[in-house]
Structure 1
Amino acid sequence: MSGSRIYIGRLSSRAEKRDVEKFFKEYGDIREINLKNGFGFVEFKDYRDAEDAVKESNDREFFGHRIIVEIAKGERRRGRYNDRRGGDYDRRNNNAPQRTDNRIYVENIAQSVSWQDLKDFFRRAGQVTFADAHKRREGEGIVEFSSYDDVKEALHKLDGYELKGQKITLRDVCLNNLSNYY
């Protein structure tokens, strides 16, 4: 049923399926739990339980992290996995992460910020296809989106926001301007 899946971001790598189940079962019957590296999904049998879980558990502490909990966007994907550098790939086809020209350059990121933190943070603006942190130089990162509208939304909504205690600066860039980044 649409709207019955929740996304959990900033999920501790120590959290196991049984921990997530225990944390969310108070909101209703769980159909499925799918955990990845740093994030996961919980599907409830009823969309109202998912809405309650979002309302009550977003920004709550879980295994030492303040988790992001929101209704999952898009369709459930089967056979897709997340690589260690922030891009999705399909193991059946062995595709590389989806890279796009729809990029923003992120400056002044805290040393503790990982590619997953960037990906989680920028999902507020749209569909993130790739993220990396501190590769070119410490304190800098890059985030790629599926559309240029998502880039504009990120620039509008998130420039100047604080991420892990530091105010970040965003810059719209194209592939040619960052040929030295990768």
Structure 2
Amino acid sequence: MTVYIGNLSYEVTEDDLSAVFAEYGEVKQVKLPVDRESGRKRGFGFVEMQDESNEEKAIEELDGAEWMGRTLKVNKAKPRTPRPTSSGWGGNQRY
């Protein structure tokens, strides 16, 4: 299971997020997505922990908590769904 953390400060680092979640158990991986064009963090991240019960405790205690001047939104991450392929007007399609 992976935890989604929303409304993060743009100043947060993977180390910062790892340290917060390490208080609840072993952290396996932290990801902070960045915008492709600007390289700026997007204001959300993902944390994967070793033990699911620790993840649930972290979600329960951190959802709605204030951290770095922001109120966090913390919940189970939803599986990524593939983007639909474009079948609009254009390309080399003939009708």
TM-score, normalized by length of structure 2? Answer: 0.73
Matched, 1:31 2:28: yes
Q: Distance in 1 between matches of 2:53 and 2:3?
A: 11
Alignment RMSD: 2.2
Q: Distance in 1 between matches of 2:66 and 2:12?
A: 12
Matched, 1:66 2:71: yes
| Higher RCO structure, 1 or 2 (CA under 8 Å, sep 6+) | 2
1:72 CA drift (Å): 0.8
Where structure 2 has 5 or more consecutive residues not aligned to the other structure, the ranges are 34-41, 85-95
Q: After the TM superposition, which parts of structure 1 deviate over 2 Å for at least 4 consecutive aligned residues?
A: none
Q: Distance in 1 between matches of 2:2 and 2:52?
A: 8
Q: Distance in 2 between matches of 1:50 and 1:19?
A: 17
Secondary structure of the corresponding residue to residue 40 of structure 1: strand
Instruction: Report which of the two has the higher share of strand.
Output: 1
Task: Look up the match of 2:2.
Answer: 5
Q: Distance in 1 between matches of 2:54 and 2:15?
A: 18
Q: Percent identity?
A: 35
Where structure 1 has 5 or more consecutive residues not aligned to the other structure, the ranges are 78-96, 99-182
Secondary structure of the corresponding residue to residue 74 of structure 2: strand
